[in-house]
């Protein structure tokens, strides 16, 4: 597993700077005025810094962007990276400056000079997020990262500010690892084992096995997994950092470790991407990890439904009718609309057992949300304007795109069937909304609830500001912030 690079903070030390190997990053204000520390570094480098700042290239950089000086005189480092960061930088600009540094981090390590700069911890968060790589299966590159030392005016202060952020970065990287893992490695059992490991962090973790799910009547979830050799599981993670015995907030995730479509099989082209169909469960797991690592003062329960959707002699067929834990019958007209079947039972179980104060589910639920919103925004569906508003606000603050989508009883017409209480798809029109309406049927009216369709954002097609190409970890930061704002405040 790839934990984020560890960032340590230290006072400015010119001797260490002279002999530092690898890369040095200097954070500098846009107008090129050098502070006392930067002036000494400039002198050490025989004026190379001030010369660069007079050049055109520096002038063109936006806040958070950088310029490399190769083989500079006066220091042992191979590269000195000049990073533009305004005195009144926003959180996003500070993180982007860190991301520019983190992206360049190699094995030789990194020394960052942040003296006189604002938002040092946020900058370090950018380093932690963007230096992530997933190199588990690359024989050549083992992905080892050197150490990162940030030289700051008040290292203790920066370190204290950074500690809870490091917990969140760890959660983000945990989610990315889960989403990046192939399905032959991340089976339902392997996934569950990785969550059980988190008991060490103080989380209570239980694994419900097929016999338990059978007893609970989770036939909708079990139907999805019945064509797979991997046993279906529900994992319950409880973080009890709030008032004793107070009802928790619930996060629920779709954890389809691979989605072939089942008997309604998907086309071959692009099917390999369906290793990410556990993305919702990945986010829930990453958030629970962050909450535990930073010892959040809140009661939160995370539940994930882990299944594999495979075609097989035992697999569910189109036309099968299953009874959900709630008791409602479902006609499975398309075995590829499996996520909602899994969530229906886990959502119901979460409410019956925990009587949560509110509930958010995350899922790579529909291709239709990519048609609607592309890879820029997750789709947010809700029965509660206050909760939806809080989710959008938290996502915005963390720079994670999210957009509210409509719901309404008129859409229910599309998922009616003569054979059962409901069918699992309404065809192409409003495909993401009918999926949300389906889920809503399994949410009690009095529970504030939000469904977030992350099919477009969990595995973006290109690198982003804070992640290399591959899993983004979208939502871990937003939901961690939501917990802070809504439950810890
Ligand atoms: N896991 C997919 C949705 C998906 C598509 C996620 C692309 C990420 C990228 C989901 O289970 C699915 O297959 N949905 C179907 C629903 C349809 C059969 C009603 C879809 O979107 O095509
Ligand atoms: Mn599917
Ligand atoms: Zn799916």
DSSP string, 422-439: EES---STTHHHHHHHHH
Average pLDDT score over residue span 229-233: 99
Average pLDDT score over residue span 420-448: 98
**pLDDT for 37 beyond 80:** yes
Q: How do residues 310-354 score in pLDDT, each as one tens digit?
A: 999 999 999 999 999 999 999 999 999 999 999 999 999 999 999
Contact by Cβ (8 Å): 239, 203: yes
Give the pLDDT band (50/70/90) at residue 144. Answer: confident
Which atom of ligand 1 lies at the shortest distance from residue 264's CA? 18
User: In whole angstroms, what is the distance from residue 307 CA to residue 321 CA?
Assistant: 19
Rounded distance from Cα 267 to ligand 2 centre (Å): 11
Contact by Cβ (8 Å): 235, 206: yes
Diameter over CA atoms, the chain: 82
Token pair for 118: 């604002």
Kindly tell me the burial class for residue 409, based on how many C-beta atoms sit within 10 Å of its own C-beta (0-12, 13-18, 19 or more): exposed
> Which one of 309, 336, 427, 452 would you pick to mutate in the ligand 1 pocket, going by the greatest count of ligand atoms within 8 A of its CB?
336
User: In whole angstroms, what is the distance from residue 486 CA to residue 337 CA?
Assistant: 33
Contact by Cβ (8 Å): 90, 133: no
pLDDT, position 109: 87
Contact by Cβ (8 Å): 426, 337: no
Contact by Cβ (8 Å): 52, 139: no
Token pair for 5: 């690079």
Q: Which residue has the tokens 């590159």?
A: 141
Average pLDDT score over residue span 110-132: 94
Which atom of ligand 1 lies at the shortest distance from residue 364's CA? 6
User: In whole angstroms, what is the distance from residue 447 CA to residue 384 CA?
Assistant: 9
Contact by Cβ (8 Å): 106, 145: yes
Rounded distance from Cα 337 to ligand 3 centre (Å): 7
Residue 425, ligand 1, Cβ within 6 A: yes
User: In whole angstroms, what is the distance from residue 39 CA to residue 318 CA?
Assistant: 71
Token pair for 285: 């797991």
User: In whole angstroms, what is the distance from residue 288 CA to residue 294 CA?
Assistant: 10
Task: Report the percentage of the chain scoring pLDDT > 90.
Answer: 92
Q: Which domains does the chain have, with CATH numbers?
A: 7-162 (3.40.220.10), 186-488 (3.40.630.10)
**pLDDT for 222 beyond 70:** yes
pLDDT, position 209: 99
pLDDT, position 1: 59
pLDDT, position 142: 62
Give the pLDDT band (50/70/90) at residue 389. Answer: very high
Give the pLDDT band (50/70/90) at residue 187. Answer: very high
Average pLDDT score over residue span 401-424: 98
**pLDDT for 147 beyond 80:** yes
Winning range, highest mean pLDDT, from 25-39, 102-116, 464-478: 464-478
pLDDT, position 221: 99
Q: What is the pTM of this model?
A: 0.98
Contact by Cβ (8 Å): 132, 468: yes
Buried b (16+ CB within 10 A) or exposed e, 258-283: bbbbbbbebeeeeeeebbbbbbbbbb
Which atom of ligand 1 lies at the shortest distance from residue 339's CA? 11
Nearest ligand to residue 367 Cα: 1
Residue 334, ligand 1, Cβ within 6 A: yes
Token pair for 304: 């994930």
Collapse the DSSP code of 165 into the 3-class scheme (helix H, G, I; strand E, B; otherwise coil) and give the result. helix
**pLDDT for 141 beyond 80:** no
Contact by Cβ (8 Å): 275, 258: yes
**pLDDT for 110 beyond 90:** yes
Token pair for 210: 């097929």
Q: Measure the CA dihedral 376/379/384/389, to 10°.
A: 0
Token pair for 226: 């019945």
Q: Which residue has the tokens 């989403």?
A: 179
pLDDT, position 140: 81
Residue 277, ligand 1, Cβ within 6 A: yes
Q: How do residues 366-387 score in pLDDT, each as one tens digit?
A: 999 999 999 999 999 999 999 9
Q: How do residues 272-321 score in pLDDT, each as one tens digit?
A: 999 999 999 999 999 999 999 999 999 999 999 999 999 999 999 999 99
Give the pLDDT band (50/70/90) at residue 117. Answer: confident
**pLDDT for 101 beyond 70:** yes
- Among positive and negative, which fits the CA dihedral 480, 482, 485, 489? negative
Neighbours of ion ligand 3 (CB under 5 A): 256, 259, 277, 339
Residue 315, ligand 1, Cβ within 6 A: no
């Amino acid at each position: 597993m790839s934990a984020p690079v560890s960032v340590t903070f230290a006072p400015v030390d010119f001797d260490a700077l002279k002999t530092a190997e690898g890369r040095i990053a200097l954070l500098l204000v846009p107008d090129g005025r050098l502070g006392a520390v930067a002036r000494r570094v400039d002198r050490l480098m025989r004026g190379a810094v001030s010369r660069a700042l007079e050049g055109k290239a520096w002038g063109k950089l936006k806040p958070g962007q950088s310029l490399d000086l190769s083989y500079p005189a006066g220091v042992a480092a191979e590269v000195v990276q000049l990073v533009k960061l305004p005195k009144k930088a926003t959180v996003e600009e500070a993180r982007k400056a860190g991301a520019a540094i983190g992206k360049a981090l190699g094995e030789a390590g990194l020394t960052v000079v942040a003296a006189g700069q604002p938002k040092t911890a946020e900058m370090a968060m950018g380093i932690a997020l963007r230096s992530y790589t997933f190199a588990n299966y690359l024989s050549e590159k083992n992905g080892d990262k050197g150490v990162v030392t940030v030289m700051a005016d008040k290292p203790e202060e920066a370190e204290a500010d950074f500690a809870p952020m490091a917990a969140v970065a760890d959660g983000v990287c945990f989610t990315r690892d889960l989403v990046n893992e192939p399905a032959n490695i991340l089976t339902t059992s392997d996934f569950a084992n990785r969550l059980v490991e988190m008991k060490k962090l103080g989380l209570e973790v239980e694994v419900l096995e097929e016999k338990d799910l059978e007893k609970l009547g989770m036939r909708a979830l079990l139907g999805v997994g019945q064509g797979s050799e991997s046993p279906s599981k529900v994992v319950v993670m409880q973080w009890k950092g709030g008032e004793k015995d107070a009802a928790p907030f619930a996060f629920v995730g779709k954890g389809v470790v691979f989605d072939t479509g089942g008997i309604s099989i998907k086309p071959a082209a692009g099917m390999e991407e369906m290793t990410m169909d556990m993305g919702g469960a990945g986010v829930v797991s990453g958030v629970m990890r962050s909450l535990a690592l930073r010892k959040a003062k809140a009661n939160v329960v995370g539940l994930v439904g882990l299944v594999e959707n495979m075609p097989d002699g035992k697999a569910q067929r189109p036309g099968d009718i299953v009874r959900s834990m709630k008791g409602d019958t479902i006609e499975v007209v398309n075995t590829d609309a499996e996520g909602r079947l899994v969530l229906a039972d886990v959502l119901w179980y979460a409410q019956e057992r925990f009587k949560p104060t509110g509930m958010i589910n995350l899922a790579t639920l529909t291709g239709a949300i990519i048609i609607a919103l592309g890879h820029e925004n997750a789709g947010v569906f809700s029965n509660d304007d206050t909760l939806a508003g809080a989710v959008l606000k938290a996502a915005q603050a963390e720079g994670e795109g999210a957009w509210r989508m409509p719901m309404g009883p008129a859409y229910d017409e599309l998922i009616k069937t003569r054979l059962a209480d409901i069918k699992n798809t309404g065809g192409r029109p409003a495909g993401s909304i009918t999926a949300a309406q389906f889920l809503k049927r399994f949410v009690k009216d009095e529970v504030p609830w939000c469904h977030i369709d992350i099919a477009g954002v969990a595995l973006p097609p290109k690198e982003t500001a804070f992640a290399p190409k591959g899993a983004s970890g979208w939502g871990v930061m937003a939901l961690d912030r939501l917990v802070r704002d809504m439950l810890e405040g």
